[in-house]
């Protein structure tokens, strides 16, 4: 929970990792290059006082994650997003099994999401069902540019992906988190294109598609898709740190998202350990648009809008209990607001 100027905020960090990119777990030059690319994002977009050494960044501790998220980071609940990358890391990068150990130890703090790779075909369906039976997750994290043998990626609307999404529907896994953002070396940029979200969201209106990284650098494409698909959400990981490194760019991103997608379908995420939530939460609560003509057509970002983005939207998706004092003033006992059934802009 974060409090500033008499306003209280329930914080859900909907996209975090507990990765192992240590030299001992790194398979090849691609795994080495992947974590170095991650570190470049971390070092170039973080304030100096929140920048780690590369050695710590490769494999941080349980103590680190508990301190940075919950002791000082203002986070009430965090969602671990599982990513395997087994072509790059011997035991996987950020696996469901590794993440689930944190959930078992701190169930009041963490949720964990599973994953699937449609290229595993029928065996993948069996694995998804088995993992869900064991861990009971409410969402999956999908990494459409992940390498697998000779394959350099896949699409959400591929035949076997559709079968896996049908299995998600059957199992009650409603939240589909898809990395659709900047590429990471050596992955292929085009495999993160947002176009396949459009068709798939239409095919599965009862699933929620959380587009992680809001499609950057394809923000405009994502906005046009999100405004016509009411079950598409924006995860703000990667967008958030520009609030420090390029604040005018962040103002443009958040202004466009609020205009097209709306305040009820945007979710805060730090992408820990790429960045730490403490400074992101604090800077976002303080954020206002620059006072010049370029931003005159953006509506004010009120504390209630910030409350929704920082935690209440994700809490609604995951049916999390929110203390009464951290609800919106008008919400009563519920998380409060109705998630809109229509686009943010009127047709």
Q: What is the side-by-side order of every strand in the sheet holding 139-142? A: 139-142, 175-179, 208-212, 232-235, 266-267
Query: 302-316: per-residue pLDDT in tens?
Result: 999 999 999 999 999
Distance CA 124, CA 161 (A): 10
pLDDT at position 91: 97
Q: Which residues contact 55 (CB under 8 A, 6 or more apart)?
A: none
Closest CA to 317 of 333, 337, 343, 299: 337
Query: 63-89: per-residue pLDDT in tens?
Result: 999 999 999 999 999 999 999 999 999
Fold of the 2-326 domain: TIM Barrel (3.20.20)
Find the range with the poorest average confidence among 101-110, 112-121, 189-198: 189-198
pLDDT at position 245: 96
Q: How confident is the model at residue 342 (pLDDT cuts 50, 70, 90)?
A: very low
Q: How far is CA 257 from the centre of its chain?
A: 15
pLDDT at position 330: 60
Query: 233-286: per-residue pLDDT in tens?
Result: 999 999 999 999 999 999 999 999 999 999 999 999 999 999 999 999 999 999
- Stronger pLDDT, 135 or 339, i.e. the higher one: 135
Q: What is the end-to-end Cα distance of the chain in Å, rounded?
A: 37
Query: 36-56: per-residue pLDDT in tens?
Result: 999 999 999 999 999 999 999
pLDDT at 288 > cutoff 70: yes
How do the domains of the chain map onto residue ranges?
A: 2-326
């Amino acid at each position: 929970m974060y409090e500033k100027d008499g306003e209280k905020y329930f914080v859900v960090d909907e996209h975090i990792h507990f990765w192992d990119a240590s030299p001992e777990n790194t398979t090849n030059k691609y795994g080495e290059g992947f974590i170095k690319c991650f570190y470049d994002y971390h070092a170039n977009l973080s304030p100096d006082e929140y920048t780690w050494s590369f050695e710590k960044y490769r494999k941080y501790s349980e103590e680190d994650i508990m301190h940075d998220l919950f002791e000082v980071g203002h986070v009430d609940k965090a969602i671990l997003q599982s990513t395997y990358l087994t072509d790059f890391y011997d035991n996987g990068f950020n696996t469901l099994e590794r993440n689930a150990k944190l959930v078992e130890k701190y169930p009041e703090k963490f949720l964990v999401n599973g994953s699937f790779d449609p290229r595993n075909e029928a065996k993948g369906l069996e694995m998804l069902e088995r993992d869900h039976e064991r861990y009971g997750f409410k969402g999956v994290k999908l990494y459409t540019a992940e390498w697998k043998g000779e394959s350099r990626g896949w699409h959400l609307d591929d035949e076997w992906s559709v079968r896996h999404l049908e299995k998600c529907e059957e199992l009650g896994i409603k939240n589909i988190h898809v990395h659709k953002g900047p590429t990471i070396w050596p992955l292929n940029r085009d495999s993160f294109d947002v176009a396949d979200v459009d068709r798939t969201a239409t095919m599965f209106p009862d699933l929620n598609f959380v587009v992680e990284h809001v499609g950057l650098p394809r923000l405009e494409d994502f906005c046009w898709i999100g405004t016509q698909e009411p079950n598409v959400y924006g995860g703000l990981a990667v967008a958030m740190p520009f609030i420090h490194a390029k604040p005018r760019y962040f103002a443009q991103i958040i202004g466009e998202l609020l205009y097209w997608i709306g305040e009820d379908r945007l979710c805060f995420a730090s992408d820990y350990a790429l960045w730490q939530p403490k400074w992101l939460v604090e800077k976002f609560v303080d954020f206002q648009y620059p006072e010049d003509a370029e931003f005159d057509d953006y509506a004010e970002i009120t504390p209630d809008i910030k409350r929704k983005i920082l935690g209440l939207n994700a809490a609604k998706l995951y049916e999390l209990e929110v203390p009464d004092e951290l609800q919106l003033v008008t919400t009563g006992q519920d998380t409060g607001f109705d998630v809109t059934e229509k686009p943010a802009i009127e047709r």
